[in-house]
Structure 1
């Protein structure tokens, strides 16, 4: 790997990748705290304590510490200094006791200096710079408002404990405090489930009196965090001391604020189930073409590519598809993909992509593709691998503009989509492939046997006539006079058969020679070197060596035996040839005498020779009839298993449909029908028969439950029954039955795929369900149904170019966004979009703003797309938020909807 190649991905990885979960301890106390308030003084100095605090934070993967001493910010700079260069962010703050007795954590951006923080304390009436537990002059509500005005974030501390909000206040005062619009987060000691019943009902917004106008989520009134008092560095390891908060810039409390406004997406307690690991695209970079010099460091969750028309969003999506060597599912999408590769990426452009694969174990691979060459895959050492992109990310899906809409027009492709949810039985699939192969072999064997039987029957048909003529010759006395020559004909047949009997042995010897000596490389010392059972498996090598040597010896002996037999048979045939010559001489003499009597002795011998030549065919015919019967029975068994396997696989698909219906209850319903795609059958009939089959095909396609087994059985009974049973014209029925047994066996071997029908509940959240099939829906509604299916379980990335182009806008905000937020924890999404609902309401972890200069199609000046680092981040990044408002359709409206929901 060259230095340049290494740099493009390294440069991409150095860029902002948006919001990520950071473990935060938001109630950390300085050195003196344990002695001042708990009578448990810490050892050492403030400086050594601060150093140990940072070390323990690193040890416990904690990225943010908020120092919140009571009424004091004196020691914050020392802890910040200790954390400098460590990767641990220290946010300054303090803990206040409100005038109504409630403890509140007040946290500020990392860049707030001590003088500013002292002024903030003064605003609450705290003028003594030393630590104290005195109450401030501000009420709980006033603290919330003032901290927000100061640019900080306030958290209600230990709400169910002493001096906590739910402990300090009662009645209407407590209700008013809890429903205060600037209360965004509350600290609890463990899980929500472990809270006392009354507190749990309040926190989960189940108590009507305390219900907040804008709850933080479906199950929470406000965001809840774990942030117990840390008075010693060792306590940072306690689950209750920290929680995970998703943000893009830990130094700014805007990340905390956005997280508390949307805790379902951005807050995770240590006791919460951790989202499963998943495969992902980590970075992409371009060298050459429209995106030359650009790169993206993807987020593992929801990525939104935004930008004006022609900014390069589609180019990013199609670059990913091109690098992964994925084929579009539709004709229009395929044409658009080729156009972008040819006219925007251009020949010579190189796309480099870093991917993380979990199948079968976690590894990183680099995929590189230069237009127009195929992709290459490098392992983590930079070596070119034999793997293909599909081997690394086998389930990744990429859809270009309007491609989802194209997908809705194909029932077979919808079935392929549903198969993503099938728990495939590998053994069943393997057996199915084996049976398909055996059925094909069976068909070939039966057809060959039938062909040989027809040939034998045709030749044996002449036997009665030949025997009748021979009888007349015998009655004329020729049998006695030419008996010697007649018997010689039989002897000739014996001599000719000698070589035929030995030929199978020669063929078997040749095959044995090809397999010898046995290949033992797979059990060599080198091949077994790294295996734990090498000492056991090593015993295989001498066994194979011994049998190889013994077989070579046996082959030599067989070869010598054949040579000896050839010599002996040669001597016998030579002796017999002399015997034959003597008989032939006497035969010629007899023929000359017969000619005088006008009797054709040669014809008699010719008849005898022909009859003797046909005798073995009768034996062969008997053998073939037996073989055919056995093969027919074997085929019946195979066909029975073939039908059972197809039925089992359909049951798997139907089970998958039930799972999908359960997951999308009230939104999408999936119906699957067995063997309802008749395309393989109609294609076979057209290919093998041709001509007019329109009526036959129409009738066969219209049958709701078509059994290929029944169809073949009826065809074997003749055209009349076929026409009557299936409503086919007599002439077309005769064309089908006249095509012969080969066609019927091919029909038996067909697999008619199931078809999938999607239905969408167009009533939305009204309570009444109105189900409509895709044909009854608008294009936007059709694509909505398919996208909901795509958003379900998978651990592989999903990349979609401007899905809103094909979606019903109401469903985006009401349905799609919710499913997207739920699924993004388990898989990666990369969506290009010009609709603000996806990045804003979907809470995209990474928003990438693209811009372009020049014109893609203006002669030699191809224009240039670029990605500004300031336009990469989440919506907790002010420049990114401003960009979303500026360029996305409904940007301000989406933020207004978010404001109405979350209160900002």
Structure 2
């Protein structure tokens, strides 16, 4: 695979290119398995526009290449002599061509017999064993019946396919009664061919193909392929002539393994296409224990195998390190840091080539050298201002035992549900806005209350001052000092006037400071490349005109204020002349009063204090009205806040129900609204004192309404004791807390918590549901892993999941989900348990080994140990080094017919 093949604009490094050239396991090949040679057309008088074999061969091969067919089988009727030209030409053109023949048994059934290329020279002998020695007849009939042919094919090392099974000469059409039952249920019959979907088969045959007919029912039904006679390039294009078969090595053994596991390895044209998903393409290391090691990932299930100390965990932690992902638990973090420090080692460079499909297909190269942060490069090799999470979001990596750590946190379990939640995008925007508005409303209310308290404290002295004033009045002093007393009120008027004008000066300053209006976002450069730039270009001019008009208004505003200041100064000047006359009279009167031992100055000071305080009454009343308005607005915001939280909970609850349906009879998921009380506990601890019992009782409430709790706090100690059974001392401390605390309680968001239950009953028995708390460590991890396997398009990476899993749950729970989900998601697992790669039918198994001594040693992966179980070296490796290797293949045989 080259850089161009994966859409890169520039060549990759030699190291990464070498990684992409490594085997990456099983993939789907489009296969046409019933191609006829030119001699067949001549012998059977088939209409054709071709006049020579060479012309026919070239046209067939070109069409195969054009439509993406990579594998063909040339199958003339009991003949191979005239097939050689097409087989050789196809191989020379880069196609994989199987030589073989179409056999007609003595009971009239047609079979396709396909052989590996190393059997090309002995095919005539196999035809002879079928009793065919003369080739005069266009379509001779052999001496073996169907059962005998199936048995012989196995001995020959061939793969045998029942051709056009539902039409003339087909097994289910030609045979009937017990003879048909016997052949159809023969365990050596691994595959049959149709020219279309099963749903198009005749009514009498379709139930047999669907394994619904009692007489013909099999434990493991034959693989159903699409294959039909190809006599012309137009036939190649037809869907019924080919199908997709997954193999790591194109061979008879590859076919056989695919036929044994058709659910995983066979795809007809009528089946859904594999879903595109984010994936790791390749990974390389420079330095450290994995130096010169490289991996070419498969897009589906990748399994790392090998003995202790061969580097399996190091590859997993390298992926995590390259992506910059943090471990979830303390133990996982310690293990990760130890691997990076002591195994990868400082200076080691990890390179990870990834492909994202959303919003469009694009490749990125992520590079990270220990201990530096990761760098993301574009297809052109340019360093981007992006993080690995930006280009590969939602990737999940779990080290050894990390899933077990995850089960200890109900809040983290709730986060697992996020991928299943259909979020309303508008809800997130509303939530952010309302949360901000609530904080602002609290701030406004606190400010108003603080100001009211300040004014009320000052006004507290007013009644006493007014009482003293009455005594002065009774002494007749007010009448004698009336002019000076009224002058004090006039002085206060000028002070109030300044305060009133100050707010307009502030407005004028803010207007001028905000000019000119910013037009950078609609400048010619900003609009460059937009489709409607000719229309949008006028906005800059509009805003420029607005700036000019606002500047003029600001100047007028300033002029009006200056004119008012001038007029007020003129007025005050005239008033000052009058004030001086009154002051002279007042001074004279004070001297006379002093002779009579009367404190006239004290009276005037008293009047001054009263005149300063009386306007505060109006201010307090205005603040009270403001407070009522702020509190009314807050009530509306709180109602919306609770609606938003309830809507988000309903989204999570719906996701939990969907997961439970997907994992029916395996896992149940339930969520508790506001189940996590930790934010409330942290807030209440600010009160101080011993609140342990109170917090426990609030925690024990099945349902807890935060608005109601805040209201009970405002009502006081008795209300808290009555409704929540709080201890007297704690209730009193909470009730006496600052009122700001009660508003903060209303603004809290208590996350939902998740309860997961696992069915611990054996397969096919009534379910026995147990919560995580009642499960063993392995059962807990099983339940969580089943959730992790579902519904994500991002890769899931797990290091040795079987360390925390019960073996029975691997085979009965995890493997079936894994087989299903790997079609639409990439998995990378390391394991020493054979059930995961064998029963899970891993597309890529990588066998790691260590070489060298101690600190000088390093990991290696032999090329022959990169593949799937259809590769003999890989299969032998699995049997040799994995726990239960042979037993896993035996279980595969019993479950899937191997």
Check the 8 A contact 2:285/2:292 in 1, yes or no: yes
Q: Distance in 2 between matches of 1:74 and 1:520?
A: 81
Contact 1:71 1:131 in 2 (8 A): no
Deviations 1:64-91 (A, max 9, x none): 1111112222344433443346442222
Task: Say whether residues 1:231 and 2:231 are aligned partners.
Answer: yes
Corresponding residue of 2:734 = 736
Matched with 2:178 is 172
- 1:531 aligns with 530
Partner of 2:818: 820
Q: Is the 8 A contact 2:10 2:379 kept in 1?
A: no
Q: Could you tell me the TM-score, scaled by structure 2's length?
A: 0.95
Contact 2:459–2:613, Cα closer than 8 Å, also in 1: yes
Q: Which residue does the alignment assign to 1:681?
A: 680
* Residues 696 and 728, structure 1, Cα contact 8 Å, conserved in 2: yes
- Secondary structure of 1:32's aligned partner: helix
How is 1:276-315 mapped onto 2 (pairs within 5 angstroms)?
276-315=275-314
> Relative to structure 1, is the Cα distance of residues 780 and 472 closer, same or farther in structure 2, using a 3 angstrom cutoff?
same
Give yes or no for contact 2:39–2:82 (8 Å, CA) kept in 1.
no
1:36 aligns with 43
Shift of 1:355: 1.7
SS of 1:526 mapped into structure 2: helix
The offset of 1:536, in angstroms, is 3.1
Mapping 1:718-737, distance limit 5 Å: 718-737=716-735
Q: Secondary structure at the match of 2:38?
A: coil
Show the 5 A alignment for 1:396-795: 396-573=395-572, 576-577=575-576, 579-686=578-685, 688-795=686-793
Cα contact 2:649–2:673 (8 A) shared by 1:
yes
CA spacing shift, 1:540–1:50, aligned 2, 3 Å: same
Q: Is the 8 A contact 1:682 1:697 kept in 2?
A: yes
Helix, strand or coil at the partner of 1:787: helix
Equivalent of residue 899 in structure 1, options 890, 893, 896: 893
Q: Which residue of structure 2 lines up, in the alignment, with residue 26 of structure 1?
A: 33
Q: Bigger shift: 224-233 or 763-772?
A: 763-772
The answer to whether the 8 A contact 1:871-1:879 is kept is yes
**Mapped pair 1:120 → 2:126:** yes
Residues 713 and 735 of structure 2 are in contact (CA less than 8 Å); yes or no, is this contact kept in structure 1? yes
Give 1:485 shift. Answer: 2.8
Pair 1:684–1:32, CA change in 2 (3 A): same
Deviation at 1:271, TM superposition (A): 0.9
Distance 2:128 2:559 in 1: 112
Q: Does 1:359 align with 2:358?
A: yes
The 2-side partners of 1:620 and 1:478 are apart by 30
CA distance in structure 2 between the aligned counterparts of 1:551 and 1:426, rounded to whole angstroms? 37
* 1:582 CA drift (Å): 4.7
Q: Is the 8 A contact 1:31 1:42 kept in 2?
A: no
Is this contact kept in 1: 2:43–2:138, CA < 8 A? no
- Of the structure 1 ranges 559-568 and 308-317, higher mean CA displacement relative to structure 2 is found in 559-568
Q: 1:72 aligned to 2:72?
A: no
Superimposed CA distance per residue, residues 81-111 of structure 1 (whole angstroms, 9 cap, x where no aligned partner): 4334644222221111122221111112245
2-side partners of 1:572 and 1:853: how far apart? 101
Instruction: Indicate whether 1:888 and 2:888 are aligned.
Output: no
* Structure 1 range deviating more: 625-634 or 135-144: 135-144
Partner of 2:68: 61
Residue 147 of structure 2 is matched in structure 1 by 141
1:78 counterpart SS class: helix
Q: CA deviation at 1:282?
A: 1.6
Contact kept, 8 Å, 1:72 with 1:132, in 2: the verdict is: no
Q: 1:111 to 1:521 in 2, by over 3 A?
A: farther
2:213 maps to what in 1? 207
Tell me, in whole angstroms, the C-alpha distance in 1 between the residues paired with 2:461 and 2:856: 82
In structure 2, C-alpha distance between the alignment counterparts of 1:287 and 1:573, rounded to whole Å? 86
**Alignment length (residue pairs):** 891
Q: 1:627 Cα deviation (Å)?
A: 0.6
Secondary structure at 1:209's aligned position in 2? coil
Give me the whole-angstrom Cα distance separating, in 2, the residues matched to 1:456 and 1:683. 34
In 2: Cα distance, 1:561 partner to 1:287 partner: 75
Measured after TM superposition, the shift of residue 197 of structure 1 is: 2.6
Query: 1:218 maps to what in 2?
Result: none
Gaps of 5+ in 2: 1-7
Cα deviation code 1:549-575 (max 9, x no counterpart) = 222232233234334444444455455
Query: Kindly tell me: are residues 362 and 504 of structure 1, through their superposed partners in 2, closer, same or farther at Cα, counting changes over 3 Å?
Result: farther
Report which stretch shifted further, 568-577 or 198-207: 568-577
| Cα distance in 2 for residues equivalent to 1:57 and 1:100 | 34
Give the Å deviation of 1:58. Answer: 1.6
**Aligned-partner Cα distance in 2 for 1:189–1:315:** 48
* Distance (Å, rounded) in 1 between the aligned partners of 2:568 and 2:289: 82
Q: Which aligned pairs between 1:321-400 and structure 2 lie closer than 5 A?
A: 321-400=320-399
Q: What's 1:14 paired with?
A: 21
Q: Give the secondary structure class of the aligned counterpart of 1:781.
A: helix
Which whole-Å CA distance do the structure 2 matches of 1:579 and 1:297 have between them?
Answer: 99
Of 166-175 and 625-634, the range deviating more from structure 2:
166-175
After superposition, the C-alpha distances for 1:837-864 in whole angstroms (9 at most, x for unaligned) are: 0000000011111122346xx5xx2531
Q: Do the aligned partners of 1:349 and 1:370 also contact (CA within 8 Å) in 2? A: yes
- Let me know the Cα RMSD of the aligned residues: 2.2
| Local SS of the residue matching 1:831 | strand
Q: Which runs of 5+ in 1 are unaligned?
A: 216-220
| Alpha-carbon contact 2:48-2:232 (below 8 Å) kept | no
**Structure 2: how far apart are the matches of 1:296 and 1:402?**
24
Deviations 1:470-492 (A, max 9, x none): 22223333323333332332232
Q: Check the 8 A contact 2:31/2:69 in 1, yes or no.
A: yes
Distance 1:439 1:61 in 2: 60
Cα pair distance change 1:322/1:571, threshold 3 Å:
farther
Partner of 2:90: 83
Partners in 1 of 2:582 and 2:525 — Cα distance? 70
CA 1:147/1:651 → structure 2, altered by over 3 Å: closer, same or farther?
same
Tell me by how many angstroms 1:327 deviates: 1.8
2-structure distance, mates of 1:864, 1:790: 32
TM-score, normalised to structure 1, is 0.95
> CA–CA distance in 2 between the matches of 1:576 and 1:326?
76
Q: Which residue number in structure 2 is paired with residue 831 of structure 1?
A: 829
- Decide whether the 8 Å contact of 2:44 with 2:138 is kept in 1: no
Q: 1:843 — aligned with what?
A: 841
Q: Secondary structure at the match of 1:17?
A: coil
Tell me, in whole angstroms, the C-alpha distance in 1 between the residues paired with 2:573 and 2:614.
26
Q: Secondary structure at the match of 1:198?
A: coil
